[in-house]
Amino acid sequence: SARGDHNGAAMVAMAGKNCVAIATDTRFGLQMQTVTCDFEKVFKLTDRVFAGFAGLATDVQTLRNLLKFRLSLYALREEREMKPDVLSSLLSHMLYEKRFGPYFVEPIVAGLKDDGSPFLCGMDCLGAAVFAEDFVVSGTCTENLNGICESMWRPDMQPDDLFETIGQCLLAAVDRDAMSGWGAVVHVVTPEGVTSKRLKGRMD
């Protein structure tokens, strides 16, 4: 949608061997004008689950706050952390109940299941989900990301390889899109914990 493309974004999540990575650019723009280069679009929701929202910046922040609230309620009621598949179902429902005045975001949920295997899920603004074994993409340069990820992804990557691959895929994709880039951040989730790294990107 035109509204979803207003602020620009590039986002990708990728599966490895007992690890998962999610990466995003950091640009916040108003169409072709870049406003800031430190806008947060990917959020750590539990120790093993991240969610990223590509789309209209105001809805990104609204949905992040709403989702964190629902997660806190769940933790209080259930006395446990939400699993990635449950979280993506919840998010899907939250989006679909606003279908007549939707949040203009395309979310990605990435995390590790109980057995340590990767979980990847992408959605449209109405919460229609797609589950993938390899990678999911979202934002204003999904064609670029899909193309390069198809070429670069391989099964059973270790965390270091996964970081390198997802980082290079994102940087190559945003350099071919005027609406995204200006820096990036990569989170790699393993059973041992989370590693987050900032990447420098072209500033033009």
**Segment 121-142, tens digit of pLDDT:** 999 999 999 999 999 999 999 9
Per the CB < 8 A criterion, the answer to whether 55 and 4 are in contact is yes
Element (H, E) at 43: strand 42-44
Which pLDDT score, from 0 to 100, does residue 1 have?
63
Per the CB < 8 A criterion, the answer to whether 183 and 38 are in contact is yes
Which pLDDT score, from 0 to 100, does residue 2 have?
79
**What does the pLDDT look like over 86-103, one tens digit per residue?**
999 999 999 999 999 999
